Homo-oligomer: A and B are copies of this chain.
């Protein structure tokens, strides 16, 4: 049994940027030389999310519209120091989650046919970080 860690830097370009990181995570797994086990990815932020979803912009836009309906930008928020985009980003982050778990088999991430990993920017263009941890043998 071995453990491997790698930090991935992500530069987002706008609110609701869906940055696909499947290949980056798979690359970290390949560098680890671990073949079977489990892979964890964690976003180190409260105003972003890490999700498993299809690589389909219509699904992404539906998710954005859903979030906007749940926590409307024009609502009244107490955390208003940095504006409502920031306030709602915190809430969207808890609804979507900031970490994912993916099984690992024969050196490859075990994902469904349409499953991909996305870092979702919920605030503004920022330099972001994801920590990938691989545990296995």
Contacts and interface: CB of A to CB of B under 8 A. Distances in A.
A51 B135 contact: no
Contacts of A45: 112, 114-115
A62 B87 contact: yes
Contacts of A30: none
A61 interface: yes
A79 B80 CA distance: 33
Nearest to A2: B1
Q: Which of A69, A93, A133 has the most CB of B within 10 A?
A: A133
A114 B107 CA distance: 34
Q: How large is the interface on A (under 10, 10 to 19, 20 to 34, 35 or more residues)?
A: 35 or more
A5 interface: yes
B40 A101 contact: yes
Given A78-B58, A79-B62, A102 B42 contact: yes
A70 interface: yes
Given A46-B115, A100-B99, A112-B45, A66 B62 contact: no
16 contacts: A1-B1, A3-B36, A3-B135, A44-B110, A44-B111, A44-B115, A51-B94, A52-B98, A56-B79, A59-B79, A61-B79, A62-B77, A66-B71, A69-B70, A70-B70, A97-B97
